[in-house]
Structure formats: structure tokens, C-alpha cells
Amino acid sequence: MIKNDRLITELNESIKRGNYLQAIDSAKRNLVQTGDPLLRKPLALALSRMGHAEEALRVLKPLFRKGADPETNGLMGGILKRNWLSSGNSKYLEDSYKYYLKAFKEGGGYWTGINAATLACIMNKDISLVLAEEVLDICWEEYGRMGTRSCFWLLVSIAEAHLVKRDISTAIKWYKLVTPMAFKSVGQMKTVRRNARILGEKLGTESLELLMNTITAPRVAFFAGHKIDREGMPPRFPQKETEVVKNKLRATLGKLKISVGVASLDDGSDILFHECLIEAGRQCRVILPSPIADFRKKLASDDPGGWVERFDKVLAAASCVEIVSNSVFTKDWGIVYELATEYMIGYAMSLAEEFDGEIVPLVVWDNKTQDKRGGTYSAVKMLRSLGHEPVVVTVFPKSSLQDFNGSKTKTSLLETKGYVPLKNTFVVVGVAKDIRNDDEIADVLSKYIKTVSDITSTGSLSSVVAKRSLSGKEICLTFSTIESAEEFIRSFRKKHSKSTIFAHVGLSVRFDVSLSRAGDFFSPALIEAVKLVRELSAGQTFSTGTFRSLAYLEKRNQYRYTYRGQFSIDERNVKIFEMNCRSRTGSRLTEF
């Protein structure tokens, strides 16, 4: 067995910054490779922070076989507390308190003590005040040594202990000291705000409002902006204005108090946005519309001056990098960038909710250009349709902006190219991989085909299924919306509980000629979905991160998406999420 002290430190740092998916992937991979049981602790913590409490419990339980240490008891207390918060079951609350108290009495430190005190206060136990005083004694000793260099949780624990004692004015003074650290601890601020909210509710509406206004809510910026002007373009963002725009962005980001930024990484505004975040010690999350090597190659072929080098530096420093689609186009099809924009907005919205924060849309835009599909204005229009008015940073003063809306053509792309890229929502229904007998496969498929025909030929789904086809032992369906795809999955699953289903959103190419007379197309995204469904076991329903983000964008909440790791498809790692109806209890879990 290999020890992983350095790795565990890195995992805990990732969790602190809210990079839960990366922490889960790394912990799972190294747990399998090294067998170090201590990796179960950060893995369980990351899973719990993601809301996967049941799986976190299963990961942690092996550590109790030979007697758990205070840290493990504290982690168990945290998982049970999240179970209580999500279910309202008082048994979880009582058990969580017992684990925290046991950890504290066995030397688990002030963090286990303050949690025990908080839960005791919620249950109206007199011991809550005693525990709060004991925690303050420990914290004062530590604070006496460290002073202003004291760690994040020490200051939070002092503030929370005063809340338990109902001394809200002193609590607020200590919470204010946490604010400068909040930008680097977005993954922890949700816990801070949640605990303060629970205790504040016992103090009345006015005290609660005062508390929540004091404690920093993480702010997640979605960003889009103009690229550097090319030859022949009207002045919108000339290369010479780079530093001017960067200074404006730096000032705006500071004023908005952004903790995390989500954007692509094209030349001009995107790269400047990420550079400002990195220089300020904030998180930057890069979302690329196509694979890294292809995106970089395209940038290098038309680099207006030094942007490839800056691209590489940002990529190396990014908190994470996500790829929206495996499709690669040499032409600037607007739908490619439109899909990436939809993904980014949904991704930023889900992050803001995950961190108990808020989304702040920000654009570098001339307030005029509206001609390009997938451009900055597309993002502005989409944001406004969702009720978000973006903060606009302009390159030039408004008085000097030229009126320019670009040349618009009414010529069909099919007429000029013979094909057109489209965004599609795919659902692939397959026979479980453990069924290998051809007779059995044929029998199962015949039943599936009849059900698919019944569901998609009548009712609300009859007008939204663009295409149905059979590929091997998989049935492939193309839908016009996420909503219709989810409705189909729900209806089909009711009749075939052992089927395997995979949902994905990606790009396809439709031709103006057809062999099938039904509108022929090809799609790497559909091929990915077929390959992925072949890896599933009976009864499993999964989706890609792209489907999940767009479901969030459409405010679809019929399903709970549980992260299950990555699959490698054609040298690309695809993050997958298990889909469960929110009314369902329990979940299929991966054993470790």
C-alpha cells in the first residue's frame, strides 16, 4: 500500500476551492491504484459536498471496521448532517450530533466541537452553550498564537460559537474577518452560510437577514466578449486596445467581487478575462467548444499577435478545462459557439447554486454588433431571455462607436455548402451489455421498438422526435428539446426498467441530399452516445455533462444528476452523470 500524504493535501485544497469533480476523479483513480484507505476521507468529503451523501457513506464505512479516528467520526457527522438537511429526517440529525460529539471528546479539534454545539443548539440541548464555550477556549488559544494569520475555519468557528450563544453582533464582527478569505474558499462558503442560516432562523427574521447580508455569497461570473479585430472589420476591439480592455476588466471584476469565472479561451476578451482572474488569485474555469488541440490549432492559424502563448499560459493555470463537443469544424459555424454558450451559462448557473452563490453575467460588447450567431450578442440575448441583464464593458466610449450590424445574408447555408451543422439532443436506448445471446437481444429489441413507436407516434412527443433509427443493438432518437428527451426517458423507463439509456447533446451535420429520404446526417456526438450506452449495465440511465448543463439552463428539475466519473471515448474523457427521477429514493452506487 502506497501512502499519499501530498496527494491528500492536494485533494483537500481542490475541495476547499470547490473543484469537487476533479477531487472525486483523482481520489477514485488513486484509491484503485494504491489502495490507501486514507484517500477515502477526501473522496467521501467531495462526494458529500456534491450532494451524493449515500455514496459518501459507503466510501467512508470501511474506515470504521478497525475503529475510526476523530477525523473520520467528524466526516461521518458531516455526511449525516447533509442527509438531515436534504431529507428532514431527525434521526440523521441526532446521529450526526453523536458523531461530532464523539469526535470532539476524543480530540477532534474545534471544527468537530462547533458542529456538535450547532446541532445541539438546533435540538435545544442545554449542552450547546457549554460546547460553544469549550470551542471558544480552544480557538482563543490558537488565535493567540496566529493572530491575523489564523485559518479560515478558526475564524468561522469563533463566529458560529457566538451565534450559538445568541450574540449576533460579535458573530458578525468575526464573519466580516472571513470575507477576505472567501474568494479562495468558495467550496467552503456554502457550509458557512448554511450553518449561519440554520442558527439565524432561531434568532428571528431580522437577525437572519443581517447575517446573510454579512457573509459573502460566492459570485460566479459567466463571461463572453469580442475577439480581436481582423483585417477589413470595423473598429470594435483593435489589438492596440488590449491593455485598456484588460484594465477595465480588472477593475470591473474587483468591483463585482467575483470568486469564479466561466468563459471560453479565444483571443481578445476571453483570454484577458481569465488572466485577470488568475492574477487576482481567483478561479478560472475554461470551457472550449472543441478539443484543446484543435481549438489551439485554429487560434494559431489566425493569431493576431501573441495570443497562442497567452492561451497556453491560461490553460496551464486554469482551475479546470471542459470540452463541450468532440466535433471539429474548420469553418466558423455559429451553432458551434452557440452550443458552447448554452453550456457555459448552464454550467455557471449550476455552479452558483452548488456554492449557494449567485451568477453575474459579464460581457465585453460594443452594444451594437448583432449579426453573428454564436457571438457576444447571442450570449446577451440568451441571458436576457433568462432574466439576467449582463454587466457590459465597452472598448471605446459609447459616443465613438460606429453603427455596424454586419452584412446579413438570406441565402440558405444548405444552398451554398450542401450541408449544415445542427445542435441535437440524442437519447440512445440499448440492450444491457450482459445480454449476449442473439435470440434474447432480438426479443428485447422488438419490445423496445414497439414501445418507442408507441411513445413517439402519439401524444406530446409525436411532433418533437426528429429521427428514429436502429444501430446495432441500440435505438437512436433525436429530439428537439431537453424537455421532450426527459419526458421520453421517463415514459420508456416505466415500461422497461432493465433497459440502458444514455442522453447527450451535441452537433450533427445534415445534408441537402438523402439516401434514406428522411434527411441524412452524421454525428460524432451520436456515435459517442452509442459507445457509452454499450458500457452500461441493465437499468442504468446516464447523461453527459452537456445534457446536464442544458437541462439546468432550461430549468428542468425532473431528474437528479449524480456524477459518476469519466469514460474515455476516442481519446476524449467524457464526464457522465447518473439520472434519477427526483421522486425516486435510493441510487445505484459504485463500490470502492
CB burial of 269-279 (b: ≥16 within 10 Å; e: otherwise) equals: bbbbbbbbbbe
Indicate the angle between helix axes 110-122 and 152-164, nearest 10 degrees: 30
Are 239 and 349 in the same domain?
Answer: yes
Are 66 and 42 in the same domain?
Answer: yes
Q: Parallel, antiparallel, or unpaired: how do β-strands 419-430 and 500-511 relate?
A: antiparallel
Q: How many residues does the chain have?
A: 592
- Rounded to whole angstroms, the Cα distance separating 206 from 168 reads 11
Residue 270: per-residue pLDDT: 97
51, 82 Cβ separation under 8 angstroms: yes
579, 556 Cβ separation under 8 angstroms: no
Place of cell 477595465: 248
**Is 39 within a domain?**
yes
Q: In 3D, which of 436, 545, 567, 431 has the Cα closest to residue 498?
A: 431
Q: 3-state class of 415 per DSSP?
A: helix
Are 466 and 510 in the same domain?
Answer: yes
CATH number for 453: 3.30.70.1230
Place of cell 427526483: 582
Q: What percent of the chain has a predicted confidence (pLDDT) above 70?
A: 90
CB burial of 46-58 (b: ≥16 within 10 Å; e: otherwise) equals: bbbbbbbbbbbbb
Residues 6+ apart with CB under 8 A from 314: 265, 271, 274, 275, 278, 284, 286
- Rounded to whole angstroms, the Cα distance separating 77 from 411 reads 63
Are 431 and 339 in the same domain?
Answer: no
Which segments of the chain have a pLDDT < 50? 399-401, 403-416, 584-592
Q: 400, 435, 456 — which closes off a domain?
A: 400
| 526: exposed, middle or buried (Cβ count in 10 Å: 0-12, 13-18, 19+) | buried
Are 489 and 458 in the same domain?
Answer: yes
Interior angle at CA 523, CA 518 and CA 525, nearest 5: 135
Interior angle at CA 356, CA 352 and CA 357, nearest 5: 50
Residue 462: per-residue pLDDT: 61
Are 384 and 456 in the same domain?
Answer: no
What are the pLDDT digits (tens) for 301-325? 999 999 999 999 999 999 999 999 8
- Rounded to whole angstroms, the Cα distance separating 121 from 138 reads 19
Are 451 and 386 in the same domain?
Answer: no
User: Phi/psi class of residue 374: alpha, beta or left (left: φ > 0; alpha: ψ in -120 to 50)?
Assistant: left
Q: 179, 214, 249 — which closes off a domain?
A: 214
- Rounded to whole angstroms, the Cα distance separating 199 from 186 reads 21
Are 209 and 224 in the same domain?
Answer: no
Residue 368: per-residue pLDDT: 81
Are 135 and 283 in the same domain?
Answer: no
46, 37 Cβ separation under 8 angstroms: no
Residue 589: per-residue pLDDT: 33
Residue 585: per-residue pLDDT: 41
CATH number for 241: 3.40.50.450
Are 246 and 191 in the same domain?
Answer: no
Task: For residue 394, give the C-alpha cell.
Answer: 465597452
- Rounded to whole angstroms, the Cα distance separating 419 from 522 reads 11
Are 338 and 287 in the same domain?
Answer: yes
| 458: exposed, middle or buried (Cβ count in 10 Å: 0-12, 13-18, 19+) | exposed
Are 251 and 294 in the same domain?
Answer: yes
Positive/negative CA dihedral, 559, 565, 569, 573: positive
Find the distance separating the first CA and the last CA of the chain, reported in whole Å: 15
Task: For residue 513, give the C-alpha cell.
Answer: 441530399
**Is 49 within a domain?**
yes
CB burial of 379-418 (b: ≥16 within 10 Å; e: otherwise) equals: bbebbeeeebebebbbbbeeeebeeeeeeeeeeebeeeee
**Is 485 within a domain?**
yes
Residue 586: per-residue pLDDT: 39
- Other C-beta atoms closer than 10 Å to the C-beta of 539 total 14
199, 121 Cβ separation under 8 angstroms: yes
**Is 338 within a domain?**
yes
Q: 214, 234, 257 — which closes off a domain?
A: 214
Boundaries of domain holding 357: 219-400
Q: 3-state class of 240 per DSSP?
A: helix
**Is 388 within a domain?**
yes
Task: For residue 255, give the C-alpha cell.
Answer: 468591483
Residue 415: per-residue pLDDT: 43
**Is 85 within a domain?**
yes
Query: Total domain count for the chain?
Result: 3
- Rounded to whole angstroms, the Cα distance separating 421 from 374 reads 13
CATH number for 162: 1.25.40.10
Q: Read off φ and ψ for residue 230, nearest 5 degrees.
A: -105, 170
**Is 407 within a domain?**
no
Residue 181: per-residue pLDDT: 78
Residue 65: per-residue pLDDT: 84
Note the Cα 64 to chain centre separation in Å.
31
Place of cell 453523536: 98
Give alpha helix (H) positions in 149-291: 152-164, 168-182, 186-200, 205-214, 242-256, 269-279
**Is 37 within a domain?**
yes
Place of cell 440524442: 426
- Rounded to whole angstroms, the Cα distance separating 8 from 554 reads 37
